[in-house]
């Protein structure tokens, strides 16, 4: 791959960067996916916009806070650097943590089932990640170590692993898998937990290749540690809920759907 230009175009002397364009595109397509599929979860499509308008900014703020905290030596004392998202620097784990907390609070306030809402949201999250990761390519960041593979990218005159590409491809695949599972859910939370399992599995190994990882105590790649923890917790929770569903002899989210006019099986 050639060396990319991070600037897409300039208007009124303001550089518009590919990083922001691609993240915005991912958010827009993810929003459309959630809006269209909301009735299948017995959620009003318009209500999903309320969730997104609150959870998304919280998630972005969380992603930035997470990234800044783990790069404190670089950002300390420079507030402008801390808030300058145009140059990159969003940690997906921070975004997910803050976004999930915001969504959980909203579900409690608005009387929605958290697992059901998350099952609707997670395929779209994977889609947004798949598209947004290409912003790392244009910023020449989030890459791996040296490689001789033909699909390597040039960074600093050296060919390196395009780890953004590995994650993008996986997230596109994950998007498809989660959609298929969502169409035949056996219990509330199945899609959310499957996302946690499959994304964490991929992130653990891709993070091993990266050279710009956020570190914990200066010795542990925090994304690898967190991915391992999330993977284990999600596997355990998935097994427990699947067993409960089988024992119950029916799908947890069963009942009459006012949108389809049918009883869910």
Which are the contacts of 224, defined by CB distance < 8 A and separation ≥ 6?
203, 204, 207, 208, 213
Q: Is 255 contained in some domain?
A: no
Q: Is 260 contained in some domain?
A: no
Q: What is the number of structural domains in the chain?
A: 1
pLDDT of 187 higher than 50: yes
Across residues 143-170, what is the average pLDDT?
91
Q: Residue 1: its pLDDT value, please?
A: 62
Q: Find the DSSP H helices in the chain.
A: 18-37, 45-69, 72-75, 79-83, 92-110, 114-132, 134-138, 163-182, 190-209, 222-248
Q: Are 159 and 147 in contact (CB under 8 A)?
A: yes
pLDDT of 253 higher than 80: no
Q: Is 11 contained in some domain?
A: yes
Across residues 36-55, what is the average pLDDT?
96
pTM for the model stands at 0.86
Q: Are 137 and 120 in contact (CB under 8 A)?
A: no
Q: Is 261 contained in some domain?
A: no
* pLDDT category of residue 257 using cuts at 50, 70 and 90: low
Q: Is 59 helix (H, G, I), strand (E, B) or coil?
A: helix
Which of 196, 185, 197, 198 minimizes the C-alpha distance to 245?
Answer: 185
Across residues 192-221, what is the average pLDDT?
89
Across residues 173-200, what is the average pLDDT?
96
* pLDDT category of residue 258 using cuts at 50, 70 and 90: very low
Does 69 or 114 have the greater pLDDT score?
114
Across residues 82-98, what is the average pLDDT?
83
Q: Is 252 contained in some domain?
A: no
Which are the contacts of 52, defined by CB distance < 8 A and separation ≥ 6?
31, 34
Q: Is 26 contained in some domain?
A: yes
pLDDT digits (tens, 9 = 90+) for 4-29: 888 888 998 888 889 889 999 999 99
pLDDT digits (tens, 9 = 90+) for 103-114: 999 999 999 999
Q: Is 265 contained in some domain?
A: no
* pLDDT category of residue 99 using cuts at 50, 70 and 90: very high
Proportion of the chain above pLDDT 90, given as a percent: 60
Q: Is 228 contained in some domain?
A: yes
Q: Distance between CA atoms of 191 and 125, rounded to whole angstroms?
A: 11
Q: What is the mean pLDDT of the chain?
A: 88
DSSP annotation of 7: E
Q: Are 182 and 123 in contact (CB under 8 A)?
A: yes
Whole domain around residue 162: which residue ranges?
7-247
Angle at 200 between CA 225 and CA 22, to 5 degrees: 110
Proportion of the chain above pLDDT 70, given as a percent: 92
Q: Residue 263: its pLDDT value, please?
A: 35
């Amino acid at each position: 791959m050639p060396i990319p230009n991070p600037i897409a175009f300039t208007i009124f002397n303001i550089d518009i960067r590919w990083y922001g364009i691609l993240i915005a595109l991912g958010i827009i397509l993810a929003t459309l996916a959630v809006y269209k599929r909301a009735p299948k979860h017995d959620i009003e499509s318009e209500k999903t916009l309320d969730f997104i308008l609150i959870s998304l900014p919280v998630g972005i703020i969380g992603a930035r806070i997470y990234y800044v905290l783990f790069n404190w030596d670089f950002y300390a004392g420079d507030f402008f650097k801390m808030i300058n998202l145009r140059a990159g620097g969003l940690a997906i784990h921070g975004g997910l943590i803050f976004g999930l907390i915001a969504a959980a609070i909203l579900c409690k306030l608005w009387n929605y089932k958290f697992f059901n809402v998350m099952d609707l949201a997670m395929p779209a999250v994977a889609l947004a990640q798949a598209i947004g990761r290409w912003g790392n390519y244009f910023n020449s960041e989030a890459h791996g170590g040296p490689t001789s593979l033909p699909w390597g990218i040039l960074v600093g005159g050296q060919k390196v692993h395009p780890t953004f590409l590995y994650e993008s491809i996986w997230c596109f695949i994950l998007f498809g898998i989660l959609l298929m599972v969502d169409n035949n859910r056996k219990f509330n939370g199945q899609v959310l937990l499957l996302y946690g399992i499959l994304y964490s599995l991929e992130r653990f190994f891709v993070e091993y290749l990266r050279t710009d990882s956020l570190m914990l105590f200066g010795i542990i790649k925090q994304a690898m540690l967190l991915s391992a923890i999330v993977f284990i917790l999600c596997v355990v929770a998935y097994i427990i809920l699947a067993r409960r569903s089988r024992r119950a002899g029916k799908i947890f989210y069963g009942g009459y759907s006012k949108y389809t006019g049918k009883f869910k099986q």
